[in-house]
């Protein structure tokens, strides 16, 4: 955990303690005041009551007053402690970074009040916003009043959606149907879909059948909805038994409501030209991100004769505030040292160098332009008649997006080749044997290497190299028996993947090692750069977890002291089956899963291996362009392995997501309306399940597993004579 996380945890404890003290204080006051009120009412209604009641009442109130006074001091101390913790742990002196002159004019303050009010309205704090409007005289701003009415309505609808009441949202969609249709929105369909699921869940099968008419119209008018409607019709059959145990149980996942909330907010704000995030949120967020860098700049400049870093509304260096908050070009012309604009865009010369349009015009001489970086000349065919230089658009084009390059940090390197628009996708991996069948071990090693390529959406591998190390501790007979089988397993798996082994390296050392290198040369559209996950995506896993536990448990069959720890919860047959399932899973290629990534518009993908499901999810989240977080709520695990892990005091960290996997499945971020179809097609083509295990939400590029994840036993039931 980082220092910042530790500091926030410490602060959170102080806040929780203060809240608990305040709640306890008011509960005690309420109880005591009720008692005093009862005594006063008795005194008022019964004049002939005991004359000592006034004395008793006075004696009751007097210690209470002292008690509340002392308690108030204690509460003040708890609240003051929060401030002291903040002062101690967080830097409050921002030095010369703030420029207070930016806020010294009434019109600028008015803008600040407006964005604060809008943020309050977005959060549903109407009364506070209205009071601020009254105090700051914002009523005369008609544009603000329009936004206010809209935000009041949207907030009311969102409150209803949080309570799972879909009717206000459906009414809003009905009123705004024409505008929604212009943008190709499917919001109304998803609301109707959720209403249909609600009817199924409540057992109103008859109403659900009638409600299908609302959904069939979308199936007819919009091809994107046809498959979803067919799935809902299928769920209707299972709902008459138990939908929670059917293939359509994913329709009941709680996170679908969160996704619906996000979708409604996004679509509603889009209709009136508002961003999903409030201006105050964007400004505060970018400010917090930029502040450390700004303070460093100020400290570096404080002893030099320079003006304030913000004096020209432009910073001396670029500060990265994330891709989602880049609202304009950030290219600076290397000739004029100016940032480009829409009127002065970046232009690429035929030689590949980029300068601004203004620089281009100044460098053009007699219809010719000499690149300032290389000897190549460009001819300006569009010379003007009035003597002014013109831009030759036949040799100059706006700068395109940069070619994506993936180096260290993800599954494979993706590098553009110098010969045409081709990419080299390459990866290497190797490890020690972990199963006792040499042939299967060879297949596992090959499948593991290929998974790194498949994780990039590439399914055609042009060549493989085999890396092999035989142990000098093996006898000649052992070597001649084991090594050919491992090599054959590796070769057979490569052949199954549609590639071949052309080269490699074999050495002798103390350890037995097998691995390889996979290489593919492909076009840009064959590669999925794994960095485009968005809020609302779901996470899909294509193989079950628990490999490390299964392999270790099988080894413990020959270690009585270890077997003694788990024999009370599993049988020998359970362990043998789990081991066979693990071997089959590791040797199975991820090729089919990878081939469907393009079809279902996958936004990001990685394969799950040595760092466990959480480790690889965290690595993938860190490489996303958008500020998202991965939340895993379900863990598909080979049957009985959870029980073994718990019996061993969670020594494998299986439920924490850090148990090592080998040649595991693909972890994919898919659009939420494509995930179910992806899982269904995997089942049809491979005969193996894939699972929706999590969601993508707004965050700081991290990943986590919820406190009590749902464990999915794989398979759910044992069948005699079958592994799965």
What pLDDT score was predicted for residue 309?
47
Are 545 and 640 contained in the same domain? yes
Domain boundary among 271, 299, 323: 271
Is the pLDDT reported for residue 387 higher than 50?
no
Q: What is the pLDDT of residues 522-535, one digit of tens each?
A: 988 899 989 999 99
Is the pLDDT reported for residue 1 higher than 80?
no
DSSP 345-404: -EEE-TTS-EEEHHHHHHH-BTTEEE-SSSS-EEE-S---TTS-----TTT-EE--PPPP
Say if 564 falls within a structural domain: yes
Say if 295 falls within a structural domain: no
What value does the mean pLDDT take over residues 539-563? 95
Report the percent of the chain where pLDDT is more than 70.
80
334 DSSP assignment: T
Are 557 and 693 contained in the same domain? yes
Are 570 and 646 contained in the same domain? yes
Are 580 and 703 contained in the same domain? yes
Are 678 and 592 contained in the same domain? yes
Are 616 and 686 contained in the same domain? yes
Is the pLDDT reported for residue 546 higher than 90?
yes
Are 52 and 188 contained in the same domain? no
The tokens for 597 are 């990534």
Q: What is the pLDDT of residues 669-719, one digit of tens each?
A: 999 889 999 999 999 999 999 999 999 999 999 999 998 899 999 998 887
Q: What is the pLDDT of residues 404-427, one digit of tens each?
A: 555 555 778 888 887 767 889 999
Is this structure's pTM higher than 0.95?
no
Largest Cα–Cα separation, the chain: 115
Distance from C-alpha of 8 to C-alpha of 77, rounded to nearest angstrom: 20
Domain membership of residue 691 as a residue range: 538-714
Is the pLDDT reported for residue 385 higher than 70?
no
Are 557 and 522 contained in the same domain? no
Are 365 and 461 contained in the same domain? no
What value does the mean pLDDT take over residues 395-400? 39
Alpha-carbon torsion (173, 179, 185, 189), positive or negative: positive
Say if 127 falls within a structural domain: no
What pLDDT score was predicted for residue 336?
75
Q: What is the pLDDT of residues 142-184, one digit of tens each?
A: 445 556 677 778 888 988 888 889 999 989 988 888 888 888 8
162 vs 541, more confident: 541
Instruction: CATH number of the domain at 481, please.
Output: 3.30.1330.10
**Residues 6 or more apart whose Cβ sits within 8 Å of residue 489:** 438, 439, 440, 441, 442, 443, 444, 445, 446
Say if 74 falls within a structural domain: yes
Are 223 and 169 contained in the same domain? yes
Q: Are strands 423-431 and 604-607 parallel, antiparallel or unpaired?
A: unpaired
Say if 441 falls within a structural domain: yes
Q: What is the pLDDT of residues 280-299, one digit of tens each?
A: 888 888 777 777 777 766 66
The tokens for 585 are 């899973």
Domain boundary among 367, 398, 429: 398
Counting the structural domains of the chain, the total is 5
Are 470 and 350 contained in the same domain? no
pLDDT, mean over the chain: 81
- Angle ∠(429,441,692) on CA atoms, nearest 5: 70
Are 430 and 503 contained in the same domain? yes
What value does the mean pLDDT take over residues 578-591? 96
């Amino acid at each position: 955990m980082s220092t910042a996380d530790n500091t926030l945890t410490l602060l959170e404890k102080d806040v929780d303690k203060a809240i608990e003290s305040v709640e306890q204080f008011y509960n005690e006051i309420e109880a005591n005041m009720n008692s005093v009120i009862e005594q006063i009412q008795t005194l008022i209604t019964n004049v002939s009551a005991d004359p000592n009641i006034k004395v008793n009442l006075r004696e009751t109130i007097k210690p209470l007053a002292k008690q509340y006074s002392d308690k108030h001091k204690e509460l003040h101390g708890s609240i003051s402690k929060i401030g002291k913790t903040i002062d101690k742990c967080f830097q409050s002196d921002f030095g010369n970074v703030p420029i207070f002159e930016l806020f010294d004019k009434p019109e600028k303050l008015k803008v600040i009040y407006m964005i604060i009010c809008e943020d309050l309205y977005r959060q549903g704090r109407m009364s506070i916003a209205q009071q601020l409007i009254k105090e700051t005289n914002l009523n005369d701003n008609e544009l603000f009043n329009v936004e206010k009415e809209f935000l009041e309505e949207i907030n009311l609808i969102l409150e209803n959606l949080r309570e799972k009441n879909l009717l206000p949202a459906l009414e809003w969609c009905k009123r705004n149907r024409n505008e929604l249709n212009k943008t190709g929105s499917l919001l109304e369909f998803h609301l109707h879909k959720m209403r249909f699921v609600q009817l199924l869940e409540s057992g109103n099968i008859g109403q659900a059948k009638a409600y299908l008419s609302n959904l069939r119209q979308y199936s007819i008018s919009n091809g994107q909805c046809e498959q979803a409607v067919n799935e809902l019709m299928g769920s209707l059959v299972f709902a008459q038994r138990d939908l929670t145990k059917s293939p359509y149980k994913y329709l009941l996942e709680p996170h679908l409501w969160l996704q619906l909330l996000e979708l409604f907010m996004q679509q509603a704000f889009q209709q009136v030209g508002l961003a999903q995030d409030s201006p105050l949120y964007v400004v505060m967020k970018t400010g917090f991100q930029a502040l450390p860098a700004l303070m460093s700049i100020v400290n570096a400049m404080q002893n030099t004769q320079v003006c304030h870093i913000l004096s020209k509304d432009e910073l001396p260096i670029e500060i990265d505030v994330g891709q989602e908050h880049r609202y304009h070009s950030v290219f600076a012309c290397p000739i004029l040292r100016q940032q480009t604009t829409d009127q002065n865009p970046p232009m690429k010369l035929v030689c590949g160098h980029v300068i601004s349009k203004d620089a281009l015009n100044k460098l053009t001489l007699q219809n010719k332009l000499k690149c300032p970086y290389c000897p190549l000349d460009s001819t300006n065919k569009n010379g003007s008649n009035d003597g002014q230089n013109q831009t030759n658009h036949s040799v100059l084009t706006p700068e395109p997006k940069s070619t994506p390059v993936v180096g260290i940090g993800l599954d494979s390197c993706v590098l553009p080749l110098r010969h045409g628009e081709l990419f080299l996708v390459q990866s290497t991996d190797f490890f020690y044997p972990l199963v006792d069948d040499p042939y299967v071990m060879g297949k596992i090693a090959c499948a593991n290497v290929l998974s790194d390529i498949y994780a990039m959406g590439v399914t055609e591998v042009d060549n493989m190299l085999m890396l092999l190390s035989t142990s000098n501790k093996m006898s000649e007979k052992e070597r001649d028996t084991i090594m050919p089988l491992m090599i054959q397993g590796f070769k057979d798996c490569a052949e199954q993947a549609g590639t071949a082994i052309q080269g490699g390296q074999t050495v002798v050392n103390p350890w037995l090692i097998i691995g390889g290198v996979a290489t593919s040369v492909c076009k840009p559209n064959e590669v999925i750069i794994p960095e485009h996950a968005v809020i609302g995506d779901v996470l899909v896993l294509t193989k079950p977890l628990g490999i490390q536990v299964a392999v270790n448990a099988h080894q413990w069959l020959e270690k009585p002291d270890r077997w003694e720890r788990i024999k009370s919860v599993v049988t020998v047959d359970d362990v043998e089956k789990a081991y066979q399932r693990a071997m089959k899973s590791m040797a199975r290629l991820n090729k089919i899963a990878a081939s469907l990534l393009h079809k279902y518009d996958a936004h990001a993908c990685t394969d799950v291996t040595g760092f466990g499901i959480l480790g690889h999810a965290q690595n993938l989240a860190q490489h996303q362009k958008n500020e998202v977080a991965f939340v895993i709520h379900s863990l598909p695990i080979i049957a009985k392995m959870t029980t073994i892990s718990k019996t061993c005091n969670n020594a494998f960290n299986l439920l924490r997501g850090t148990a090592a996997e080998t040649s595991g499945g693909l972890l994919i971020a898919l659009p939420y309306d494509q995930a179910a179809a992806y899982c269904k097609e995997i089942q049809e083509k491979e005969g193996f399940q894939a699972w929706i295990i999590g969601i993508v939400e707004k965050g700081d590029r991290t990943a986590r597993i919820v406190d009590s994840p749902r464990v999915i036993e794989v398979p759910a039931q044992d069948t005699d004579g079958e592994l799965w």
